[in-house]
Structure formats: C-alpha cells, structure tokens
Amino acid sequence: FDNIINAPLATGAGGEAFRRAWGEILLPALSDFDPDCVIISAGFDAHYADPVGRLKLDEADFSWVTTEIAAIAKDKAGGRLVSVLEGGYDLAALAASAAAHVKALIAA
C-alpha cells in the first residue's frame, strides 16, 4: 500500500530522533495525504519508564506530536480528529503521557 509509511527508530532513541522522524517524514506525509479525518492510535509504551518499549520518550514528546497532528487535522480535516488509547505498561508513565496527550488535544 502506498499509504503506509514506516520511520524506524534505533533501540534507545529519544525525543530528538522521534521528533526528527515525525517532522521530516511522517507529518509531511500526513499533510500530503489530505485526510478527511485523522485517527490517532495513542500508545505510550515508547516512554522511557515503560518496561516493554525500547525508546526513551517523555511526556513532552507525546504532547508535541499530538499538537502537530492536531494542527494537520485542523488544517486538512476541518478539525476532525479521533484518539483512542492503545498501550503503555508502566502505569505512572501511562497516566502522565495520556494526560499530556489529552491536554494537547484540548489546547488544539
């Protein structure tokens, strides 16, 4: 399919690599796709405290990407955006990340 885009990150990658992948690859592709609605499958196992994920993201990274995606939804999809909670296996990290995500959605 030409609408599936992968941006692999190295094990242990942090916010800088994550934001670069989103900023240079994924967000432009989402914008170019010109969606009618944006659906976020929000998983937080990439948090540095998560025992399953192998990335080192924090709440600020999740907030940033949510803000960026919401801006595209506003511009391209009339603000139509749905977010569903996926995973996250450290309960404190999950709670903090989900809260940052929801705050970014509200602010958008």
Using a cut of 0.75, tell me whether the model's pTM lies above it.
Answer: yes
Task: Decide if 31 is inside a domain.
Answer: yes
Task: Decide if 6 is inside a domain.
Answer: no
Q: What percent of the chain has pLDDT over 70?
A: 99
Tell me the pLDDT of the chain averaged across its residues. Answer: 97
pLDDT at residue 1 above 80?
Answer: no
Task: Decide if 7 is inside a domain.
Answer: no
Return the minimum-mean-pLDDT range out of 3-7, 55-59, 79-83.
Answer: 3-7
pLDDT digit string, tens, across residues 52-62: 999 999 999 99
Task: Decide if 10 is inside a domain.
Answer: no
CA pair distance 18, 61, nearest whole angstrom? 8
Task: Decide if 9 is inside a domain.
Answer: no
Domain of residue 54: give its range: 15-107
The count of structural domains within the chain is 1
pLDDT digit string, tens, across residues 6-21: 999 999 999 999 999 9
